Amino acid sequence: MCGRIVLSSSIESIAAAFGIADPARHLIDLAPRYNIKPGEALAIVRTGTFGDRELVPLTWGFIPREAKVPGRRQINARAETVDKIWPWRHAFRERRCLVVVDGFYEPEKYPGTKKTKQQWFFRLKSKRPMALAGLWDQWHEGKPDYAATCAVITTTPNELIASMGHERMPVIVKERDYTRWLDPKIHDRTMLDDILVPYPSDLMEGWPVGTRVNNPKLDDASLIAQTDDE
């Protein structure tokens, strides 16, 4: 499960990494964030109306457009069933996106229990912004009320994440696969299966950051500092 996210890169570096033309026209607040929580805005890249890539803020907590009422918002979708079950299957066919992050937190578990030992921070060794596989949708009940939302797709863990006692990790999309993942004309799951897999451990790094990130009121760079606290 992915439940806390870090995004501190500038809009210029994100635009360069994700092929966003004219980043100044994208009305999105990209102040550095070190503790983004469900219910807050994530920066996502999706295919725009005219086929170009656009960078937009969407609320983290998915509401499918078919829902009669918002209901419980889902923050993660399982890669194994994302193309088969409601509320994901229609968005998977037509509204895939890339969730832009610099890293994410996962709690280390005490062996054999559900108790959290401490949080760990994970990122790419290259320190470049990474793309999590995501889905987006726009729910509305009459006009002009609407809610544009998104979720992160998870898969089985790589060795690095599994060492923390985890059974899931977010799907990280490789740069070479951005275009294919964002292509709304691709509906066949088999053409995307190789994307929905654990990211190679040797391209990632992580370290313990203690438990301060559990406090939703804290949001500063000190949260990703390495700690030896147990």
Q: Which domain holds residue 200?
A: 4-224
pTM for this one?
0.94
Q: Between vectors from CA 218 to CA 158 and to CA 111, what angle results, nearest 5°?
A: 35
Q: How many domains does the chain have?
A: 1
Q: What is the DSSP string of 181-227?
A: HH-TT---GGGTTTTSSPPPGGGEEEEEEESGGG-TT--SGGGGS--
Q: What is the CATH number of the domain that holds 39?
A: 3.90.1680.10
In the chain, % of residues over pLDDT 70: 93
Rounded Cα distance, 229 and 214, in Å = 14
Residue 154 covered by a domain: yes
Mean pLDDT lowest for which of 94-108, 130-144, 169-183, 197-211? 130-144
Residue 102 covered by a domain: yes
The tens digit of pLDDT for each residue in 6-37 reads 999 998 899 999 999 876 676 577 899 999 99
Segment holding 178, helix H or strand E? helix 178-182
Confirm if 55 and 44 have CB atoms less than 8 A apart. yes
Residue 115 covered by a domain: yes
The tens digit of pLDDT for each residue in 107-144 reads 987 776 667 789 999 999 999 999 999 999 998 766 55
Residue 230 covered by a domain: no
Neighbours of 81 (CB within 10 A): 11
What pLDDT is recorded for position 142?
63
Please state the rounded mean pLDDT for residues 82-96.
96
Please state the rounded mean pLDDT for residues 186-196.
96
Residue 224 token pair: 């990703």
Beta strands (DSSP E) in the chain are: 4-7, 33-36, 41-47, 53-60, 76-78, 96-101, 103-109, 116-124, 130-139, 147-155, 169-170, 172-173, 204-210
What pLDDT is recorded for position 68?
80
Please state the rounded mean pLDDT for residues 177-191.
96
Q: Which of 105, 97, 58, 57 is nearest to 77 (CA)?
A: 97
Residue 168 token pair: 């899931």
What pLDDT is recorded for position 27?
59
Residue 229 covered by a domain: no
- In the Cβ-directed half-sphere of 187, how many Cα atoms lie within 13 Å? 5
